[in-house]
């Protein structure tokens, strides 16, 4: 009995949609890329309920004829390629011809399209992958696609979606990827009637970055431009002072297509080696143009992974281009040997006392082997130590040391030693306690800031000259969400409109220069989170504050400062670990020390 059969067209389309259409942002990406391939100069995107209720994309491209409009919903129906050899000469965003069929398989789709030489357009309706109707209609030149009730027939897919806030953030990110690399096209994005972006067409990539993010970011960018027979690399990279700990804006594009490539990102980091603190990164926007025959974009359904034939050569081009930009714009410290130096040369004084030649005095009677009366039997110095050596098999574990949190403070001595400006070493009854001073202070400050946000009490200081902060659309949304918590920490921030905020007051233990960096790193760290509730937002804010106000590694501490840190640490909620899970305290037991010398 035969058991293998061909799946119905609607089922196979839905299975394909499971891979290509993963969330509402996937629909935005596919439809906007189709609009660009159609030569659109203006693209408008409207979403409702984070794209679940409705996604509408309008463009003024060349549109489609009645027959093409119907054929476009069939699987692997495309105008981009006609043979296998065309895959090596791709100059369009799409080429598989499966996007519309996959979207129609998991939603209700209505498309209206009209070509410039037609007086009447065409309307087509699909639902769940099934053709419903086609009729003439009056519409503008271009294409208008309305996708409603996404995943209405794919319950499993809808259940695994994130919250509306997260899904809308993903939509913004996909919109941003396409808008960044196409500055000559005007774009708008509207969510539930609220205009998020209104981007006018421009010939300047820097202006598009400014419109999408902020004026302050665009002013911190250096232009990169390197051309060779292998590839051409243009774009912008941040100055060393723009480096932040949280992930900044970092975007790579190849032939107009956004991609993720850890190897090329490493090239940017290597170019800033020893120019920025360890653990920090700079923003960059790099556009790579290569021969389509040298890359393979057909690796994944989303086409965000690209394979290069010569990625090591492009790595070196990125490295050289960024270093050239840093040197060209004097963004690195240099020694200018052509500049006149001011040396203080003393004036000759003829009446001064002549300088005598230094002499060396030698004690000819010194004998290093001569025994003095103060010598003693050195073996007696270790009698007490040997008598205190633990018996074989005796072992004091770290767990037993930390078994009772209340007894931790009683275990430690009041004599502290700082090792290389990084560790506080203190003797304890169970052994030797070593504390990372930087991480310990992070834990102390984190608990303090969490308490201030809960109690809504924090010491604050007014600013004589308020600081102006400009934020992009995505950062504005986050700022509005965390503004009450920032006020509880002592910030006095007033929105001025159009993405601008005035910092009129800051916490008492923060200076104005650090305040701007702290706020930016807070926003960057919150953007990294896929899903955060109110407590997680507070934790991210407190952690960002703590990391930017704590003592740094290498800072010399007095005995009183070390005592204050140890006392506060042992009273914290978790002395052993930082809020992000890094070890703070390490204990070397007496038994472990004895083993080192036996």
Highest mean pLDDT among 148-152, 210-214, 507-511, 544-548: 148-152
Residue 269 and residue 123 share a domain? no
Mean pLDDT of the chain: 81
Domain shared by 258 and 291, yes or no: yes
Regarding whether 110 and 62 lie in a shared domain, the answer is yes
What is the model's pLDDT at position 370? 63
Q: What is the mean pLDDT of residues 475-502?
A: 83
Contact 430, 589 (CB under 8 A): yes
Does 219 lie in the same domain as 137?
Answer: no
Q: Are residues 306 and 454 in the same domain?
A: no
211 lies in the same domain as 193: no
What average pLDDT does range 418-440 have in this prediction?
88
Confidence check: pLDDT of 341 > 70: no
Model pTM greater than 0.75? Answer: no
pLDDT band at residue 396 under the 50/70/90 scheme: very low
Cα–Cα dist 172/99, whole Å: 20
Which conformational region is residue 133 in: left (phi greater than 0), alpha (psi within -120 to 50 degrees), or beta?
beta
The answer as to whether 290 is a domain residue is yes
pLDDT at 165 over 90: no
Residues 179-209 have pLDDT tens digits of: 999 999 999 999 999 999 999 999 999 999 9
Kindly state whether residue 343 falls inside one of the protein's structural domains.
Answer: no
Considering only residues 50 and 370, tell me which one the structure prediction assigns the higher pLDDT. Answer: 50
Q: Which helix (H) or strand (E) holds 538?
A: helix 534-549
- What are the residues whose beta carbons fall under 8 Å from the beta carbon of 89, sequence distance 6 or more? 292, 293
Q: What is the pLDDT of residue 83?
A: 64
Closest CA to 542 of 458, 424, 423, 463: 458
Per DSSP, the residues of 115-165 read: -TT-SSEEEEEEETTEEEEEEEE---SEEEEEEESTTTT-HHHHHT---HH
Q: Which of 199, 226, 247 delimits the end of a domain?
A: 199
| 595/548 same-domain check | yes
User: Is residue 373 domain-resident?
Assistant: no
The domain that contains 219 carries what CATH number?
3.30.230.10
pLDDT digits (tens, 9 = 90+) for 265-324: 999 999 998 888 888 889 999 999 998 888 877 555 566 677 788 889 999 999 999 999
Residue 393 dihedral angles phi and psi, to the nearest 5°: 95, -15
Cβ atoms 261, 252 nearer than 8 A: yes
Q: Quick one: pLDDT at residue 299?
A: 55
> Does the residue 554 lie in any domain?
yes
Helices (H), 228-358: 262-271, 311-328
The residue to which tokens 């979403």 are assigned: 47
Digit-coded pLDDT (tens) for 57-100: 999 999 999 999 999 888 777 776 666 665 666 666 666 667 88
Can you tell me the distance from the alpha carbon of 587 to that of 59, in angstroms, rounded to the nearest whole number?
65
In a domain, 436, yes or no: yes
Task: Say whether both 113 and 192 belong to one domain.
Answer: yes
Are residues 194 and 115 part of one domain? yes
Mean pLDDT of 434-463: 86
**How many C-alpha atoms does 9 have within 13 Å on its Cβ side?**
11
Domain that includes residue 293, residue range: 205-328
* In a shared domain, residues 272 and 417: no
What was the pLDDT predicted at 381? Answer: 44
Mean pLDDT of 156-162: 82
Residues 501 and 419 in one domain: yes
Whether pLDDT at 397 is above 50: no
User: Between residues 429 and 436, which one has the greater pLDDT?
Assistant: 436
Look at residue 256 and tell me if it is in a domain: yes
Query: What pLDDT, on a 0 to 100 scale, did the predictor assign at position 88?
Result: 62
> Does the pLDDT at position 338 exceed 60?
no
**CA dist 455 → 352, 450, 540 (Å):** 71, 9, 17
Query: CATH number for the domain including 114?
Result: 3.30.565.10
Q: What is the CATH number of the domain that holds 520?
A: 3.30.1540.20
Q: Which of 111-115, 382-386, 460-464, 558-562 has the lowest mean pLDDT?
A: 382-386
Question: Which residue, 169, 199, 229, sits at the end of a domain?
Answer: 199
153, 168, 199: which is the final residue of a domain? 199
* Number of domains observed in the structure of the chain: 3
Q: What is the pLDDT confidence band of residue 226, given thresholds at 50, 70 and 90? A: very high
How confident is the model at residue 398, as a pLDDT? Answer: 41
Q: Which residues pair with 135 in a beta bridge?
A: 123
CA distance 58 to 145: 7
Residue 497 has pLDDT above 50, yes or no: yes
- pLDDT at position 49, please? 93
Contact 425, 416 (CB under 8 A): yes
Residue 405 confidence class, pLDDT cut points 50, 70, 90: very low
Sequence-distant (6+) residues with CB within 8 A of 179 are: 185, 187, 197, 199, 208, 212
Q: How confident is the model at residue 382 (pLDDT cuts 50, 70, 90)?
A: very low
């Amino acid at each position: 009995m035969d058991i293998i059969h061909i799946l119905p067209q609607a089922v196979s389309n839905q299975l394909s949609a499971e891979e290509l259409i993963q969330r509402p942002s996937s629909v935005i990406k596919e439809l906007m890329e189709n609009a660009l391939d159609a030569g659109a100069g203006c693209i408008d995107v409207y979403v409702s309920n984070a794209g679940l209720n409705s996604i509408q994309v309008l463009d003024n491209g060349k549109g489609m004829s009645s027959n093409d409009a119907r054929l476009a919903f069939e699987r692997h129906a495309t105008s981009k390629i006609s043979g296998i050899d065309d895959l090596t000469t791709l100059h369009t965003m799409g080429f598989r011809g499966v996007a519309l069929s996959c979207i129609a398989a998991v939603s209700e789709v209505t498309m209206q399209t009209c070509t410039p030489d037609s007086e009447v357009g065409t309307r087509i309706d699909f639902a769940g992958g099934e053709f419903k109707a086609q009729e003439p209609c009056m519409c503008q030149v271009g294409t208008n696609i309305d996708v409603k009730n996404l995943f209405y027939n794919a319950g499993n897919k809808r259940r695994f979606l994130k919250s509306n806030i997260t899904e809308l953030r993903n939509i913004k990110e996909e919109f941003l990827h396409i808008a960044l690399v196409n500055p000559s096209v005007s774009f708008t994005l509207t969510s539930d009637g609220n205009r998020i972006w209104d981007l006018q067409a421009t010939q300047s990539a820097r202006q598009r970055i400014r419109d999408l993010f902020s004026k302050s970011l665009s002013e911190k960018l250096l232009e990169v431009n390197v051309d060779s027979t292998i590839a051409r690399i243009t774009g912008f990279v941040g100055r060393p002072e723009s480096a932040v700990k949280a992930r900044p804006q970092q975007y790579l594009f190849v032939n107009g297509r956004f991609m993720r490539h850890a190897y090329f990102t490493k090239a940017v980091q290597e170019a800033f080696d020893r120019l920025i603190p360890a653990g920090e990164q700079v923003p960059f926007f790099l556009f790579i143009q290569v021969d389509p025959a040298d890359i393979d974009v057909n690796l994944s359904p989303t086409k965000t992974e690209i394979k290069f034939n010569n990625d090591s050569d492009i790595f070196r081009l990125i490295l050289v281009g960024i270093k050239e930009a840093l040197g060209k714009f004097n963004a690195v410290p240099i020694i200018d040997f052509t500049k006149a130096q001011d040396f203080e040369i003393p004036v000759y004084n003829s009446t001064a006392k002549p300088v005598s030649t230094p002499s060396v005095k030698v004690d000819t009677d010194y004998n290093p082997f001569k025994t003095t009366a103060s010598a003693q039997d050195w073996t007696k110095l270790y009698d007490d130590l040997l008598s205190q050596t633990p018996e074989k098999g005796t072992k004091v574990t770290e767990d037993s040391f930390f078994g009772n949190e209340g007894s931790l403070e009683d275990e430690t001595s009041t004599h502290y030693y700082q090792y290389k400006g990084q560790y506080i070493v203190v003797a304890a009854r169970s052994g030797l306690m070593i504390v990372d001073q930087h991480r310990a202070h992070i834990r102390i400050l984190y608990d303090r800031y969490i308490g201030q946000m809960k109690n809504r009490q924090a010491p604050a200081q007014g600013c004589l000259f308020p600081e102006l902060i400009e934020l992009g659309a995505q950062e504005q949304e986050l700022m509005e969400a965390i503004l009450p918590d920032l006020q509880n920490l002592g910030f006095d921030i007033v929105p001025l409109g159009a993405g601008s905020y005035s910092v009129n007051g800051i916490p008492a233990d923060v200076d104005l220069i650090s305040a701007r960096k702290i706020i930016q790193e807070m926003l960057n760290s919150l953007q990294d989170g896929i899903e955060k509730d109110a407590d997680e937002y507070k934790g991210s804010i407190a952690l960002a504050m703590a990391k930017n106000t704590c003592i740094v590694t290498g800072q010399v501490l007095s005995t009183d400062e070390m005592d204050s840190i140890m006392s506060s640490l042992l009273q914290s909620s978790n002395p052993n670990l930082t809020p992000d899970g890094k070890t703070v305290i390490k204990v070397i037991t007496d038994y472990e020390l004895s083993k080192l010398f036996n």
